[in-house]
Amino acid sequence: MKSYIEALLFATPEPLTQSQVNGIFPDENVDLENIINELNIEYENLNKLIHIKPIASGYQILTKPDCHLYIQRLYNKSRKIQLSQPSLEALSVIAYKQPISKNDVEYIRGVNCDSVVKTLLEKDLVTIKGREESPGRALLYGTTQSFLECFGLNKLTDLPKLKELTELLGEGHSPTTLFDATE
């Protein structure tokens, strides 16, 4: 079964989920997490430059950071998400405060966010999650599955806490290097 799971991980461009595996092997009792752990141990023991990481409620095979330069050369491009500082700020507010209205994002940032929110929608990093119950029924925004995938997160609770961000920034990291989507 482990070989089949490994093949499925290589074949799918999206994270492989337990429910997908259950649908593919309906008569088998497959413990995806256990198989992933076994594969990761094998990869580590063989000094492979790949590992399987939980992303967006599933699992995906990724290369280790040591390979980034060579993969970038192979494709002659970077997988970094190109976001302006205002876009990163708005995305951070949306990620931590979702669901949130554009007006609330603007209030927190202190500037108009029309074009920034439009850009984030176009890049599929945020989506409309509903409407406020207050007068005017403003649209509410939240992050997407693509957001989790781009930033290598399994779930929103994997976002760094404010204290962790303060410590990282205190160590000389810039806010943009904290959101490098390369793996």
Question: Which alpha helices (DSSP H) does the chain contain, by range?
Answer: 2-11, 18-24, 32-45, 68-75, 85-97, 102-109, 114-122, 145-150, 162-170
Q: What is the pLDDT of residue 132?
A: 92
Domain 2-75 matches domain 85-179 at the CATH topology level: yes
Measure the CA angle with vertex 103, ends 97 and 106; round to 5°.
Answer: 80
Residue 79 has what pLDDT? 53
11 burial via Cβ count (<10 Å: 0-12, 13-18, 19+): exposed
Where does 85-179 sit in CATH, by number?
1.10.10.10
Query: What pLDDT, on a 0 to 100 scale, did the predictor assign at position 173?
Result: 55
**What would the two tokens of residue 83 be?**
């976001």
| Strand-by-strand arrangement of the 100-101 sheet | 100-101, 139-143, 126-131
pLDDT of 18-50, one tens digit each? 999 999 999 999 999 999 999 999 999 999 999
Which range is least confidently modeled, 13-17, 32-36, 78-82, 160-164? 78-82
- Residues 97-122 have a mean pLDDT of 94
CB atoms within 10 A of CB 15: 21
Query: Residues 150-178: what's their mean pLDDT?
Result: 74
- pTM above threshold 0.75: no
Percent of the chain having pLDDT more than 90? Answer: 64
User: What's the pLDDT tens digit per position in 51-99?
Assistant: 999 999 999 999 998 888 788 778 765 456 788 999 999 999 999 999 9
Specify the fold of 2-75: Arc Repressor Mutant, subunit A (1.10.10)
Question: Which has more pLDDT, 161 or 86?
Answer: 86
Domain ranges of the chain: 2-75, 85-179
